[in-house]
Amino acid sequence: MKRIVADPKKCMACRACELACALAHADTDDLVEAITKKGAKPCIYIESAGALVVPLQCRHCEDAPCMVVCPSGALLRPDEEGPVLVDQAKCIGCAFCVQACPFGVIRLAHGSGADASDKQMAVIKCDLCADRQAEGLEPACVTSCPVGALMFVEVDDSAKMARIRAAAQAAAVVITGRGR
Amino acid sequence: MADKRNRSVDPATLAMIDVATARNMTTPWDRLESQQPQCGFGTMGICCRNCFMGPCRIDPFGEGAQEGICGADADTIVARNLLRHICTGTSAHSDHSRDVVHALALAAEGKSEAYRVRGARKLSKLAEEYGIATDGRSVNEVAKEVAQFLLKEFGKQEGVLANVGRAPEQQRKNWAAAGAVPRGIDREVVTGLHMTHVGADNDAEHVIMGSVRAALADGWGGSMIATDVSDVLFGEPHPLRSRVNLGVIKEDEVNIIVHGHEPTLSDVVVAATRDPQLLALAKEKGAKGINLAGICCTANEILMRHGIPIAGNFLQQELAVMTGAVDVMLVDIQCVFPALVQMQKCFHTKVVSTSAKAKFPGSTYVEFHEEKAMETAKQIVRLAIENYPNRDPDLINIPKQQEPLVAGFTTEVVSEILGGRYRPSYRPLNDGIQTGRLRGVAGVVGCNNPKFPHDESHLAMVKELIRNDVLVVQTGCSAIACGKGGLLAPEAAERFAGKGLQEICRAVGIPPVLHTGSCVDNSRILTACAEMVREGGIGDSFDKLPVAGAAPEWMSEKAIAIGMYFVASGIFVVIGQSLPVQGSRRVVDLLTKDFEKHFGATWAFEPDAIKAAHLMIDRIDRKRADLGLPTPMYQVPYKPKTADSAPKAHAGAKREPVAVAAGSCPGPATAGIEDT
């Protein structure tokens, strides 16, 4: 099960991921056109927390609150280990999912990416770039990050990476006798 | 850009890209790939780094921050950034210009053996125009006073630039109404930068007019003075034949490539390579001679005046070194890649930097001073000769491509060719346009940019224009591109031009595409337009002429200044990639629509070279219709649109309402934007 993992220590808040995300979900290959003509919106967010900057996007929760509260069955997970997706045709725009999401990464807004003049609201959320994955590509935000703060990895691997970091830290304490 | 075959349309360039790959060396194309994705905020012009409460960014999605910490909105930030770019562009051309005038002053005072007045006719013309007496005075006395007069134009504190008087009355009125008459060259840059300081000018339209003024100080000031004085000092160019592309590099001779912009050094190097002692030294080292060739605009300068061949344009600078046969790459200022120095690790080439304004760590630095120009030039030629034996024969790889070309067309020369030496005149050109044999004239200029396949847009656009009977004038790297594509040879008329243009070319013996020099020589296009207006019959101001301009592969800040001074002078300009202004609807509308009201011309952004050529032709046809000129005399592939389908002249130029962000206070600041 692959997920997007962020390293807040690396993020420089350049917001390249936001732009790449909007472009990836628009009906064009041109960034300026995507934003000015297609009304594309990103579904990854750069939020600051003190000195750190944290890129946030849908975690595609195992027991997803958004799916539980959706009264029209518009939020679904076609593939057991895959992303939570939106069926815009079924969505009634009640915004329950927006309220239920503990990370605040689901929005109800204009931003279909097809046409800026489209007045229809849509649920905007990360789809793990399902289209790009089908072509063997990583999600756009991951590819766009110039400093490698975003990674698309197996969840297990990210846990392993965290363990290695923790072990290195512990070892440093043992060897030097100094903690952080 | 996965397929390297798409990087250029020039076979010599593609061959050298293969060499780069084989030798594991990076090229601008590789570095462009490693820069992906490029920052969208910079692309759209909505990143402000002008004070250090910031940096600030406007959220282009319209939901996050719509103003910086000081309250500057996207319109202000975009306009200020554009003004800063233009100040840099104007500075580059004008500082180059100042050096040329300084060299004229030295020549006049006999303080430099390398320089003397070689264009006495042009000197007298300038003296007359500026009210400087010539009767009974020596050339040097006149030259000294002209140089002093022009040096003062840079620091002028009162009045307006003298060359503003060369523009038609309508243009001068437009500039006055917009508050954009250039008063001094340096001053407009300083005032422009001042306007962009935190808490200074934040009226986007007013900032843009400041950028117009700074750009006009370039076109009608710095650049125009550089062209005029270079003609006085190094001689007026005349049509001559030469060759272009990497194939001009010679395996059995010492090769020196000059790269950069100023003619003050390169012109003297031409003489130094003919020095008998140095030639003898070259023979002694086993070389058959000394071969000089150029890249970028310094190449255009010595091509125009001496017929020195051109090795390539902007994107070929590293490729020239990769031939393994360049003994010295002599650089001065502007458009020189820092990456060149890295090439020395692989090849024997010595990169010699010369300007106190542009140092390149790792290069051999020989500081250039006009006072000892010849001494410096000889020293550098000697360095090249001494480096010749260090070549590694296994690394030598010179592509064979080279094309013949004709260059050396100037405002004065065109007049002589058309009207004859005893009665020079633009009459035949204007007649050609009036009868419809010629549809109009287009300037295609500017850089290379690895975002576009190298040279492709220049060639496609120019071919489309000439097959539709539009005469093309060129400068800079665009001219070099078309030279390599065979469009600057007289034979090009038969192969590529429409019937009407062919007839003109045959009658007066010119190619369908005229090389008019370096990027400061874009000012020649302004003075040529002034001559066309003066001759009469095709419009009494620039904005009425059936002419248009383009820079399809532009990349530099100088290109922005050039584009702006052409548009503000009434000439429609289409460029390949957009200016970095897309973050502000208001600035985009101002440049691409409302400028028509202010200056009689607009900017357009169109990456497709053929579509861009058609925009130019549409403009030309519209101007022909306004003047009551007939449709083109012969069948043309791109037909004129019917009069009623042509867009009406700024029908009340719609301005979109300014969006007020939800929850923000619609106080007087926002209300004031919609001025009436």
What percentage of chain B exceeds 70 in pLDDT? 95
- Name the band, by pLDDT with cuts 50, 70 and 90, for residue B642: low
CA A126 centroid distance within chain: 5
Higher pLDDT, B544 or A51: B544
What percentage of chain B exceeds 90 in pLDDT? 89
Which residues in chain B are contacts of A31 at CB distance < 8 A? 40, 43
Distance of residue B57 Cα from the nearest chain A Cα, in angstroms: 10
Determine phi and psi for B594, rounding to 5 degrees: -70, -20
| Three state DSSP letters for B88-110 | HHHHHHHHHHHHHHHHHHHHHCC
Q: What is the reported pLDDT for B404?
A: 97
* B641-661 as b/e: b if 16+ CB within 10 A: eeeeeeeeeeeeeeeeeeeeb
> What pTM value is reported for the model?
0.88
β-bridge pairing B56-57 and B254-259: unpaired
At B418-467, the pLDDT tens digits run 887 788 899 999 999 999 999 999 999 999 999 999 999 999 999 999 99
Chain A interface disruption, residue of B1, B31, B47, B63, most A CBs within 10 A: B63
Residue B644, pLDDT > 60, answer no
Cβ distance B61 to A36 less than 8 Å, yes or no, reads no
Distance between CA B112 and CA B370 in Å, rounded?
A: 7
Cβ distance B60 to A35 less than 8 Å, yes or no, reads yes
Distance between CA B213 and CA B82 in Å, rounded?
A: 13
Residue B663, pLDDT > 50, answer no
Cβ distance B43 to A32 less than 8 Å, yes or no, reads yes
Residue B61, pLDDT > 90, answer no
A144–B contact, CB cutoff 8 A: yes
Picking from B39, B44, B585, the nearest residue to A16 by CB comes out as B39
Mean residue pLDDT across chain A: 89
Picking from A14, A20, A42, the nearest residue to B61 by CB comes out as A42
A116–B contact, CB cutoff 8 A: no
Determine phi and psi for A107, rounding to 5 degrees: -130, 155
Q: What is the reported pLDDT for B475?
A: 98
Cβ distance B578 to A32 less than 8 Å, yes or no, reads yes
Picking from A14, A16, A41, the nearest residue to B61 by CB comes out as A41
At B302-321, the pLDDT tens digits run 999 999 999 999 999 999 99
Between vectors from CA B153 to CA B152 and to CA B159, what angle results, nearest 5°? 105
Higher pLDDT, B123 or B644: B123
A42–B contact, CB cutoff 8 A: yes
Which residues in chain B are contacts of A15 at CB distance < 8 A? 41, 57
Q: List residues of chain B with CB under 8 Å from any CB of chain A.
A: 37, 39-41, 43-44, 57, 60-61, 63, 578, 582, 585
Distance of residue A137 Cα from the nearest chain B Cα, in angstroms: 15
Distance between CA B628 and CA B626 in Å, rounded?
A: 5
Distance between CA B273 and CA B603 in Å, rounded?
A: 44
At B237-278, the pLDDT tens digits run 999 999 999 999 999 999 999 999 999 999 999 999 999 999
Q: What is the reported pLDDT for A178?
A: 65
Provide the ipTM: 0.71
Picking from B37, B44, B60, the nearest residue to A16 by CB comes out as B37
Give me the torsion for CA of A129, A133, A137, A140, rounded to 10°: 0
- B584 close to B79: Cβ distance less than 8 angstroms: yes
A36–B contact, CB cutoff 8 A: yes
Q: What is the reported pLDDT for B667?
A: 39
Distinct helix (H) and strand (E) counts, chain B: 28, 16
At B552-582, the pLDDT tens digits run 999 999 999 999 999 999 999 999 999 999 9
Distance between CA B16 and CA B196 in Å, rounded?
A: 43
β-bridge pairing B350-353 and A107-109: unpaired
Distance of residue A41 Cα from the nearest chain B Cα, in angstroms: 6
Q: What is the reported pLDDT for B659?
A: 41
Chain B interface disruption, residue of A31, A108, A117, A121, most B CBs within 10 A: A31
Average pLDDT over residues B23-29: 94
Cβ distance B40 to A16 less than 8 Å, yes or no, reads yes
At B7-25, the pLDDT tens digits run 999 999 999 999 999 999 9
Chain B interface disruption, residue of A23, A31, A32, most B CBs within 10 A: A32
Q: Helices (DSSP H) in B23-73: which residue ranges? A: 28-34, 40-44
Determine phi and psi for B601, rounding to 5 degrees: -160, 160
β-bridge pairing B310-312 and B328-331: unpaired
Chain B interface disruption, residue of A17, A35, A37, A144, most B CBs within 10 A: A35
Q: Of A11-15, A112-116, B271-275, B315-319, give the lowest mean pLDDT range.
A: A112-116
Cβ distance B63 to A41 less than 8 Å, yes or no, reads yes
Q: What is the reported pLDDT for A111?
A: 67
One-letter amino acid for residue B349 of the chain: T
Helix (H) or strand (E) holding A131: helix A130-134
Picking from A16, A22, A144, the nearest residue to B61 by CB comes out as A22
Locate A155 and state its tokens.
Answer: 């969840």
Picking from B37, B41, B44, the nearest residue to A20 by CB comes out as B37
Residue A116, pLDDT > 90, answer no
Q: Is B624 helix (H, G, I), strand (E, B) or coil?
A: helix
Distance between CA A82 and CA A126 in Å, rounded?
A: 12
Cβ distance A31 to B43 less than 8 Å, yes or no, reads yes
A111–B contact, CB cutoff 8 A: yes
Distance of residue A126 Cα from the nearest chain B Cα, in angstroms: 17
Cβ distance B61 to A20 less than 8 Å, yes or no, reads no
Cβ distance A15 to B60 less than 8 Å, yes or no, reads no
- B582 close to B45: Cβ distance less than 8 angstroms: yes
Which residues in chain B are contacts of A41 at CB distance < 8 A? 61, 63
Locate B431 and state its tokens.
Answer: 């007649």
Cβ distance A144 to B60 less than 8 Å, yes or no, reads no
Half-sphere exposure of residue B195: CA atoms within 13 angstroms, side-chain side:
31
Mean residue pLDDT across chain B: 93
Cβ distance B61 to A16 less than 8 Å, yes or no, reads no
User: What are the Cα distances from residue A132, in Å, to A143, A146, A159?
Assistant: 11, 19, 25
Average pLDDT over residues B148-153: 98
Residue B292, pLDDT > 80, answer yes
- Name the band, by pLDDT with cuts 50, 70 and 90, for residue B664: very low
Q: Of B50-64, B93-107, B195-209, give the lowest mean pLDDT range.
A: B50-64
* B422-454 as b/e: b if 16+ CB within 10 A: eebebbbbbbbbbebbbbbbbbbbbbbbbebbb
What percentage of chain A exceeds 70 in pLDDT? 93
Cβ distance B44 to A111 less than 8 Å, yes or no, reads no
Q: What is the reported pLDDT for B343?
A: 93
Locate A138 and state its tokens.
Answer: 């990583």
